[in-house]
Structure 1
Amino acid sequence: MMAVRAGSAALAVLLMVVAIGVSRPAGAADPGDRPLSVFTTVVPLATFVERIGGDQVQVQAMVRSGQNPHAYEPSPRQVAALADADLYVRVGMSLEDAWLPRIRATNARMRVLDARDNIRLRPRDAAQVIDDARGRADHAHDDGTPNQDHAPTHADHDHEAMDNHVWTSPPLVKSMGAGIRDALIALRPDQADAFRANYDRFAADLDALDAEIRARLAPVKERRFMVFHPAWGYFAETYGLTQISVEYEGKEPGARALAGLIDAARANAVAVVLVQPQFSPRAAEQIAAAIGGRVESVDPLAADYFATLRRLTDLIAGPAAP
């Protein structure tokens, strides 16, 4: 029996929605007695919307915890629900570029908020170059052929070249939250006071988390940490850290790069290699075994944002002083 791909099924639903005109006409009044229907690309953004929107929002994340947003296609059910959504909060994932124009064709009244608005974006980590005792070790392709050394240029700073994990920095989440607050107020002005109050409480919690992280990391002498997938760049930038990435653009390191990563881990007294559940831990486990360290999982796509950043901080800082 021929299997039907999820993406094809979702596209079929999308075409059906267009054909039968399920979505409400542009400019139609929003019934105030129901929660606003909000979609986000990833789970942490859904958490932020829930904190600010309260009982005035019903939020769904396209990519669930444990799923890889870089290789995701919406389900037919999600596509059908998007045809009646009030707001979509995007963050720069490739699936948004592929699907949002199609969704907008079925739901012209849906507002789209880019959570990265007013945030200075950083380039994705370029081909990893590691200074170690032996010199320089470049990331290599699976066939062992090394990439050329490459520093980001202005031409590289296009949409695809920028790091989209902006939510890993609490101060940046405050900025994102302000945009979410304002978007919700525009959709439901009669709830403006509630949205502002919810945002103020959320911002205060973020300020407290930021202060807690800074205090915890202040005595840490080694400011580098090793990750499999470079998802923590904004966190590192905010707190004066450097993440060393094991993989680059979805590719595991070749033999030469792996040896360089092991040397770098030893030189920087790395004891923990951080992984996330969306990716294979194989290369991280090889490095950890070579340095006598361990692999720990921390998920940047988890729903409990505060617990996730506290766990990350503890893993980088090491055991707390008694």
Structure 2
Amino acid sequence: MKKILFLFIAMFTVLNASKAELSVSILPQKYFVEKIVKDKFDVNVMVLPGASPHIYEPKSSQMKSLVNSKIYFYIGVSFEKVWLDKFKLSAKNTTFVDTTIGIEKLAMAKHGHHDEEEIHTNHEHENEHEDEALDPHIWLDPILVKVQAKNIYEAIIKIDSKNSEFYKANYEEFLKELDNLDTQVKTILAPYENRAFMVFHPSWGYFAKRYNLEQIAVEVEGKEPKPNELVELIKDAKKHDIKIVFVSAQFSQKSAKTISKNIGASVISIDPLNEKWNESLLLSAKEIANSYSK
């Protein structure tokens, strides 16, 4: 009996250990990849829950998983600018796939508002920093996630063609899920087109564009507003009748709370890096709608 039990455990261990790995940068990507591959691969996430992609450094265990990964799906978040070339040097047998291919990125939101004259005056300066100024938060728009899903699917069937029909069925089912999510968010936000919401870190630019909203950022590149800028932000928030300010655990909430107190707005914590990213999108839509329906 003991011998049989030992053999069973040994067999389970071998089977479990033999499962191939894939790596991604952030948790929402894990959701996307697993929707397509299901349990055929283990998915290694570089930026773990609660960590910030702006200051992330990989652990040795993550590097080991990366080196063993068939594919690394990258998405253009901050830490990749520092680490991606190092990852490629370390993981020479890993295929690196850019999931942003086919997506036109937006410029990162500026501090508060800028009029057209300011935009044109600074146009040449902005071009010098074009790569740094692009908004990486493409996972917060379900339609752009469809593009990312296509890039993931096409990469997967290249390394595991024998299961291509399985992946195709999962991919097509995921596209339906994304269309359904988009419809839900549109329905919730349709009565509030052109309304504004405020965020500490400007993560929601693609979301705002997709659903005809305006995102007003408290900070840019992690910097708290100066006292005079805070005064202007409060004026701006009042002008736009802001009813809600989004914050996240990865960034300071001090300025956001000061602004909300002065304008009578709600402070809502939403994690844009939540693995259950679809729940974050729906919650954001509902909170914006609720703030204007009171």
Tell me, yes or no, whether TM beats 0.5.
Answer: yes
Aligned to 2:19: 35
Aligned to 1:86: 70
Aligned to 1:307: 279
RMSD: 2.4
Distance, in Å, in 2 between the alignment partners of 1:320 and 1:250 is: 28
Deviations 1:143-186 (A, max 9, x none): xxxxxx74576724632221111111000000100110011101
Aligned to 2:177: 205
Q: Structure 2-normalised TM-score? A: 0.87
Aligned to 2:6: none
- Pairing 1:231–2:203 present: yes
Aligned letter for 2:60?
P
- SS of residue in 2 equivalent to 1:280: coil
Q: CA deviation at 1:315?
A: 1.3
Aligned letter for 1:58?
D
In structure 2, do the counterparts of structure 1 residues 232 and 156 end up closer, same or farther at CA, with 3 Å as the change threshold? Answer: farther
- Pairing 1:96–2:80 present: yes
From 137, 158, 161, the counterpart of 1:186: 158
Distance, in Å, in 1 between the alignment partners of 2:211 and 2:129 is: 23
Contact 1:39 1:85 in 2 (8 A): yes
Deviations 1:7-39 (A, max 9, x none): xxxxxxxxxxxxxxxxxxxxxxxx9x9433111
In structure 2, do the counterparts of structure 1 residues 96 and 162 end up closer, same or farther at CA, with 3 Å as the change threshold? Answer: same
Aligned letter for 2:191?
P
Q: CA deviation at 1:79?
A: 1.3
Aligned to 2:8: none
Map 1:209-224 onto structure 2 (within 5 A): 209-224=181-196
Contact 1:123 1:152 in 2 (8 A): no
- SS of residue in 1 equivalent to 2:38: helix
Distance, in Å, in 2 between the alignment partners of 1:73 and 1:221 is: 39
Aligned to 2:30: 46
Aligned letter for 2:180?
A
In structure 2, do the counterparts of structure 1 residues 315 and 130 end up closer, same or farther at CA, with 3 Å as the change threshold? Answer: farther
Deviations 1:207-239 (A, max 9, x none): 011011111111115521100000011111111
In structure 2, do the counterparts of structure 1 residues 221 and 113 end up closer, same or farther at CA, with 3 Å as the change threshold? Answer: closer
Aligned letter for 2:103?
I
Aligned to 1:298: 270
Aligned letter for 1:48?
F
Unaligned 5+ runs, structure 2: 1-14
Aligned to 1:126: 110
Aligned to 1:159: 131
Q: CA deviation at 1:43?
A: 0.4
Deviates more, 1:122-131 or 1:62-71: 122-131
- Pairing 1:114–2:87 present: no
Aligned to 2:60: 76
Unaligned 5+ runs, structure 1: 1-30, 139-148
Deviations 1:46-87 (A, max 9, x none): 110011111112112111121111011001111122121111
Deviates more, 1:276-285 or 1:60-69: 60-69
From 198, 219, 228, the counterpart of 1:247: 219
Aligned letter for 1:37?
E
Q: CA deviation at 1:100?
A: 2.5
Distance, in Å, in 1 between the alignment partners of 2:124 and 2:214 is: 17
Contact 2:26 2:48 in 1 (8 A): yes
Q: Structure 1-normalised TM-score? A: 0.80
Deviations 1:77-132 (A, max 9, x none): 1112212111111111232232222222232120111111010111112343367x
Structure that is richer in helix per residue = 2
Distance, in Å, in 1 between the alignment partners of 2:280 and 2:47 is: 17
Aligned to 2:7: none
Aligned letter for 1:199?
Y
Deviations 1:236-286 (A, max 9, x none): 111111100001121111111111111111122212110011011000000
- SS of residue in 2 equivalent to 1:113: strand
- Number of aligned pairs? 277
- SS of residue in 1 equivalent to 2:183: helix
